[in-house]
Chain A
Amino acid sequence: MMNNIELIFPEIFISLSIMFLLILGVFKKNSSKIIHNISLLVLLIAAVITFNETIGISRTILFNESIVVDYLSSFMKIITLISAFVVLLISSNYLKTFKIFKIEYPILILSSVLGMMIMISSNDLIVFYMGLELQSLALYVLATFNRDQLKSSEAGLKYFVLSALSSGLLLYGCSLIYGFTGSTNFNVIATQFNTNEYALTFGIVFVLVGLAFKISAVPFHMWAPDVYEGSPTSVTLFFTMVPKIAALTVFIRFLYVPFLNLIDQWQMILVFLSIASMLFGAIAAIGQKNLKRLIAYSSISHIGYALAGLATGSNDGIQSSVIYMTIYIIMNLGFFSCLLMMKRNNVYYEQIDDLSGLSKNHPLLSISLLIILFSLAGIPPLAGFFAKFYIFKSVIEQSMYFLAIVGLLSTVVAAFYYLRIIKIMYFDEEKDSYDKDHSLWLKLSLTVSTVLILMYFVFPSELIDAVSKINII
């Protein structure tokens, strides 16, 4: 029973740290800075432990087969931890400006990360649901974190109500699956289900709906733009990246471990979700004026591409989705670093028009944003192109030409609104310049992400090698 317990050391370490930090926060006055720093350290250490303990091991199942540790889980956990680390690292100035630099912020981020790590490792519907709720509850609070602002409270409430609804659907699906297979364990379900049982398909559909809601795939995306716009920018950054990694991993595990044989049933659903997300995300973003809303639609569209990889039902597809998410996260980090730099006299600007003529006053910032935007649009030779290239390679391998063509055509539509931002930055008249005294970390994260995007084509094999060990089927 207690064999291999070292494999979940990262989770144990994070939960103990959360308790410790809570106590520290209660008993020590003005401890937000120190808690912020300790949390950073905790995330870093957890990433290192994950890397050391689990990256090399073969697939291991723990705790009555309810937790699985394999290469996929280690890879996704490390990405989750690193992205959460960067989010926390670059958000301190933003939080201070809004006077919400409180002890709860890093602790909530840690709790949601813990929930995500449980989700990533789950091999059981109950464990997965537990992880999901842990991360969601932390995220509701994070969305309303700037509670003096009406929009932030609205975002949190909206997120809570809709998310609770989707959790309900998801739980209903879980109970249907349990009812027809007699187990909540993925491995047992795989051996128990009867392909002729339509109710089981209903169960799968309900679970997929719940998951689609979490990654904001069309048609379950309604909450995303409002929540992204209303939440504090640093929280939006967190929303656009980290929960999606975990939810995508659950997608992979849920579809490919127990229900691979039912691929005919769920492939259509995934293809629909994917096409709808790609197209809708691209088209709806055109009319946006707020950068955070725009990036919400853009993330809907990007999740569509990641789902296209999952819809293939092949290992190549899974790997290409993971690559896509990794590159997407780097691009998103760069984009939000730029957004967090648009500050003048303690006010953050987030309308597209506020970028007007940015290239005159901030040539380096705007050239970075230019590179990031072209990469998001998927123009070669930037990283975003390769992400799409791998996806379409695996999609076309399965002869899903319709999906590939729709996906590529929606990149053209999407290119339009990225170009519009570039147009405003480069072609329009300038406005007042923004502050230039950004924190070192913010500059660093922008520089690193831009360089990674720009130079990805020099070493494309490294990332492929890293994900090529992901082997689910």
Chain B
Amino acid sequence: MNFPILSSLILLPLIGALFLFFTRSKNENKITVKYVALFTSLVNFFLSIYLWFLFDQTTSAFQFVEDRVWIEGTINYKVGVDGISILFIILTTFITPLCIISVNNSVTKRLNEFLIAILVMETFMIGVFCSLDLVVFYLFFEAGLIPMFLIIGIWGGARRVYSAFKFFLFTLLGSVLMLVAIISIYWITGTTDVVQLYELGIDTKYQNLLWLAFFSSFAVKTPMWPVHTWLPDAHVEAPTAGSVLLAAILLKMAGYGFIRFSLGLFPSASEVFTPLIYALSVIAIIFTSLIALMQEDMKKLIAYSSVAHMGFVTLGIFTIQQQGIEGSIIQMISHGLVSAALFLCVGVVYDRMHSRLINTYGGIVTIIPKYAVLFMVFTLAALGLPGTSGFVGEFLILMAAFKDNFLVAVLASLGVIIGAAYMLWLYKRVIFGKLINSELKKMIDLNKSEAFTLTCLAIPTLYFGFYPEPLINTIEVSISDLINTYNYSVARK
């Protein structure tokens, strides 16, 4: 491979953003700037599909690797993909154009800057999933804070300042310890290259502290109970496209980080801390599901459900079994699609009624039937109905959990029931019931672009629900290899 396909994926959105930056003066050309952004992100999407097409599923080695000297003698710019990361890249390039299409009424001011922020965000997110050097990873991981801070702060709702600060400072606080750990790894092993580190291994006596440092960052980003409190605030105040990016992709960075770094680099520490993760995951699943049950605000409800779903993900990852990790990745992809769609659904009614409160709505099934159908698809996918992608992930995770720890699995299954309860209750209260609020009669059904984006999300949700093979085939070899290495290093200790 001579063509640097991964670097192109990383740089393309940035070039698009630069282009938008220099067309800033013509504010009346709103449609034009949107098309430029859309075009950039679509090119990126097709490029990533092409990447998937070229991807060799039979090996767990990193592919499309690019290795350039960056800081002489210390850090190389190294990127590459394996089965674990490629799906996240495709998810990112898939969600971003949909975000851009969805920017209709929610963003009224400074559209140009908004699109720049989204494209820059895409660059950083793809960078996180590609990078094979710890410092490069950290760079992308942290850099994502800047555009997201601005997206929440400039285009957000009433309490946007509080939420933006909370988001920024929480994540930064979590991440600085990871930087200490990364530099320590450099001095312990002499490299920050992930592939070399996989081969070298890190001395067991350092692993626990390093694991905790990485954990502090990933736990905030996941988010895990009890450091999840920034998420509901950020979600509620962010504009629709911001919530979508946050839920669909930003949260996945941490799950990805757990698999790639916590399991890959610190196997024996992961073994030690598995009970901690189990406990926090189960608390997240049950506790936040109960909180979600009581929410008045639709976005907040979905935000808490995200925490619960990510609880399943962390639970699955640390079962350290083939099904568990596969399930976690599928759950992350599925949650990426479903939560994005749910936030878009909330955005649709919010644009019309300017209220996110559940009790504003009710009985709108006859007024906006198309919306009701699509919303139902995603509600059912969120609660994990068989036939949707949500089921595949949760089922695999619970299967692995039952093998490992019966109690944890039972408690997590309880969470599934509460999950079904809050999602169905939400759907019932919003869509069915009596039409009390006469204002609602003026609502118009989905317009073309809304219908298009939601359908785009519904198709893979259902397709992968019935036929998850393409996903599993892609990740299978990488994961089994990861688990073999893991078991080998734990046994060697």
Contact in complex: B180, A464 (CB < 8 Å): no
Contact across chains for B143 and A381 when beta carbons are under 8 A apart? yes
B160 at the A/B interface (Cβ < 8 Å)? Answer: yes
Give the interface segment out of B181-189, B254-262, B319-327, B343-351: B181-189
Distance of A214 from chain B, by nearest CB (Å)? 30
Q: How many residues of B contact A (CB 8 A)?
A: 33
Chain B contacts of A393 at CB under 8 A? 183, 186
For B180, give its contact among A392, A412, A415, A422 (CB under 8 Å). A392
B146 at the interface (CB under 8 A from A): yes
Chain A positions 381-405 with a Cβ under 8 Å from a chain B Cβ: 381, 385, 389, 392-393, 396-397, 401, 404-405
The one of B143, B173, B184 in contact with A380, judged by C-beta atoms closer than 8 angstroms, is: B143
A residues near B176, Cβ cutoff 8 Å = 408-409, 411-412
Contacts of B138 in A (CB 8 A): 380
A168 within 8 A of partner (CB): no
Task: Answer whether residue B71 sits at the interface, using C-beta atoms and an 8 A cutoff.
Answer: yes
Contacts of B180 in A (CB 8 A): 392, 396, 401, 404-405, 408
When A379-B142, A405-B177, A411-B176 are in contact, do A460 and B160 touch as well, CB less than 8 Å?
no
Residues of chain B lying within 8 A (CB to CB) of residue A455: none
Interface centre among B138, B153, B172, B187 (most CB of A within 10 A): B172
Partner of A409, one of B153, B173, B184: B173
Give bound CA distance, A393 to B180, whole Å: 8
| A91-103 vs B, Cβ < 8 Å mask (1 yes, 0 no) | 0000000000000
A415 and B179 contact, CB distance less than 8 A: no
A158-186 vs B, Cβ < 8 Å mask (1 yes, 0 no): 00000000000000000000000000000
Q: Per-residue 0/1 for A433-457: is the Cβ within 8 Å of any B Cβ (1 yes, 0 no)? A: 0000000000000000000000001
Q: Which residues of A contact B139 (CB under 8 A)?
A: 380-381, 385, 457
Collect the chain B residues with CB atoms within 8 Å of residue A396's CB: 180, 183-184, 187
Q: Is the CB of A426 within 8 A of B183?
A: no
Residues from chain B with a CB closer than 8 A to the CB of A419 are: 149, 164-165, 168-169
Using Cβ atoms and an 8 Å threshold, which residues of chain B touch A464? 71-72
Cα A379 to Cα B124 with chains together (Å):
13
Number of A positions contacting B (CB below 8 A): 30
Query: Which residue on B lies nearest to A392, using beta carbons?
Result: B183
Q: Does B161 lie at the interface of the complex (its beta carbon under 8 Å from any beta carbon of A)? A: yes
Say whether B143 contacts A423, CB under 8 Å: no
Closest to A427 in B: B153
- CB contacts (< 8 Å) of A349 on chain B: these are none
In the complex, what distance in Å separates the CA atom of A415 from the CA atom of B173?
A: 10
Given A379-B142, A379-B145, A427 contacting B183 (CB threshold 8 A)? no
- B169: A residues at CB distance < 8 A: 412, 415-416, 419
Tell me if B370 is interfacial: C-beta within 8 Å of chain A. no
Contacts of A465 in B (CB 8 A): 72
Are the C-beta atoms of B179 and A426 separated by less than 8 Å? no
Interchain CB contact under 8 A, A392 and B161 = no
Q: Which residue in chain A gives the minimum CB-CB distance to B172? A: A412
Residues of A within 8 A of B187 (CB): 396-397
Q: How far is the CB of A357 from chain B (nearest CB, A)?
A: 11
Known: A381-B143, A396-B183, A405-B177. A427 touches B165 (CB 8 A): no
CB contact under 8 A between A408 and B71, given known A374-B146, A423-B165:
no
**Per-position binary interface string of chain A over residues 325-342, scored 1 when its CB falls under 8 Å from any chain B CB and 0 otherwise:** 000000000000000000
Question: Once bound together, how far apart are the Cα atoms of A389 and B168, in whole Å?
Answer: 19
Asked if A461 CB lies within 8 Å of chain B CBs, one says: yes
What distance in Å separates the Cβ of A368 from its nearest Cβ neighbour in chain B? 12
Bits for A361-385, please: 1 = Cβ < 8 Å to B, else 0: 0010000000000100001110001
Determine the chain B residues whose CB is within 8 A of the CB of A401 once the complex forms. Answer: 180, 184
B154, CB-defined interface residue at 8 Å: yes
B173 closest partner in A (C-beta): A412
| Interface residues in B131-184 (C-beta closer than 8 Å to A) | 135, 138-140, 142-143, 145-146, 149-150, 153-154, 160-161, 164-165, 168-169, 172-173, 176-177, 179-180, 183-184
User: Taking CB as reference atom, which chain A residue is nearest B139?
Assistant: A380
Distance, CA A441 to CA B165, complexed state (A): 35
A404–B177 alpha-carbon span in the complex (Å): 9
Residues of B within 8 A of A404 (CB): 180, 183
A412 to B170 Cα, complex, angstroms? 9
Cβ of A460 and Cβ of B70 under 8 Å apart? yes
B71 touches A460 (CB 8 A): yes
Is B24 on the interface with A (CB-CB < 8 A)?
yes
B143 near A427 (CB under 8 angstroms)?
A: no
Contact B72–A461 (Cβ < 8 Å):
yes
Q: Are A427 and B161 in contact (CB under 8 A)?
A: yes
Residues of chain B lying within 8 A (CB to CB) of residue A389: 135, 179, 183
Query: Of A363, A381, A392, A397, which one neighbours B179 at CB under 8 angstroms?
Result: A392
Instruction: Contact check, A408 vs B154: say whether CB atoms are below 8 A apart.
Output: no
| CA distance in complex: A408, B172 (Å) | 10
A380, A385, A409, A464, most chain B CB atoms within 10 A: A380
- Which residue of chain A has its CB nearest to the CB of B75? A460
Asked if residues A408 and B145 are in contact (CB atoms below 8 Å), the reply is no
Given contacts A380-B139, A412-B172, A416-B165, contact A426 B154 (CB under 8 A): yes
Question: Do B172 and A426 touch across chains, with their CB atoms under 8 A apart?
Answer: no
| Cα–Cα, bound, A385→B161 (Å) | 24
B405 to chain A, nearest CB (A): 34
Question: A426: which B residues are within 8 A, CB to CB?
Answer: 150, 153-154
Q: Chain A: which residue is nearest B165 at the CB level?
A: A419
**A380 and B169 alpha carbons, distance in the complex (Å):** 14
| Distance, CA A385 to CA B146, complexed state (A) | 13
- Interface flags for A5-37 (1: CB within 8 Å of B; 0: not) read 000000000000000000000000000000000
**Could you tell me which residues of chain A, from 453 to 471, have a CB within 8 Å of some CB in chain B?**
457, 460-461, 464-465
Contact partners of A412 in chain B: CB under 8 A: 169, 172-173, 176
Tell me the bound Cα distance from A404 to B181 in angstroms: 11
Contact A423 B161 (CB under 8 A): yes
Specify the chain B residue showing the minimal Cβ separation from A374.
B146
Chain B residues positioned under 8 Å from A427 (CB to CB): 153-154, 160-161, 164
B71 cross-chain contacts in A, Cβ below 8 A: 460-461, 464
**With A and B bound together, what is the CA distance between A392 and B176 in angstroms?**
11
Please report the C-alpha to C-alpha distance between residue A392 and residue B71 in the assembled complex, in whole angstroms: 16
- Give CA–CA (A408, B177) in the complex, Å: 8
**Which chain B residues in 331-354 approach chain A with CB under 8 Å?**
none
Shortest B253–chain A CB gap in Å is 14
Chain A residues near B153 (CB-CB < 8 A): 422-423, 426-427
CA distance A392 to B161 in the complex (A): 31
CA distance A457 to B180 in the complex (A): 20
Q: Which chain A positions have C-beta within 8 A of B149?
A: 419, 422
Partner of B172, one of A363, A392, A415, A460: A415
Q: Which residue of B lies closest to A415 (CB)?
A: B172
| Residue numbers in B under 8 Å from A461 (CB-CB) | 69-72
Which residues of B lie under 8 Å from residue A379 when comparing CB positions? 142-143, 145-146, 172
CB distance from A458 to the nearest CB of B (A): 9
Query: Which residues of chain B are near A460, meaning CB under 8 Å?
Result: 70-71
**In whole angstroms, how far apart are the Cα atoms of A405 and B172 in the complex?**
13
CB distance from B146 to the nearest CB of A (A): 6
Nearest CB to that of A426 among chain B residues?
B154
8 Å CB contact of B24 from A363, A423, A457: A363
A to B CB contacts below 8 Å, 23 in the list = A380-B138, A381-B143, A389-B179, A392-B183, A396-B183, A397-B187, A404-B180, A408-B176, A412-B169, A412-B172, A419-B149, A423-B164, A426-B153, A427-B154, A427-B160, A457-B139, A460-B70, A460-B71, A461-B69, A461-B71, A461-B72, A464-B72, A465-B72
Which A residues are closer than 8 A to B by beta carbons? 363, 374, 379-381, 385, 389, 392-393, 396-397, 401, 404-405, 408-409, 411-412, 415-416, 419, 422-423, 426-427, 457, 460-461, 464-465
Closest 5 CB pairs of A and B: A408-B176, A380-B139, A396-B183, A461-B72, A380-B142
Given A396-B184, A412-B169, A457-B139; 10 other pairs, CB 8 A cutoff? A374-B146, A380-B139, A381-B139, A381-B140, A393-B183, A396-B183, A408-B176, A408-B177, A412-B176, A419-B164
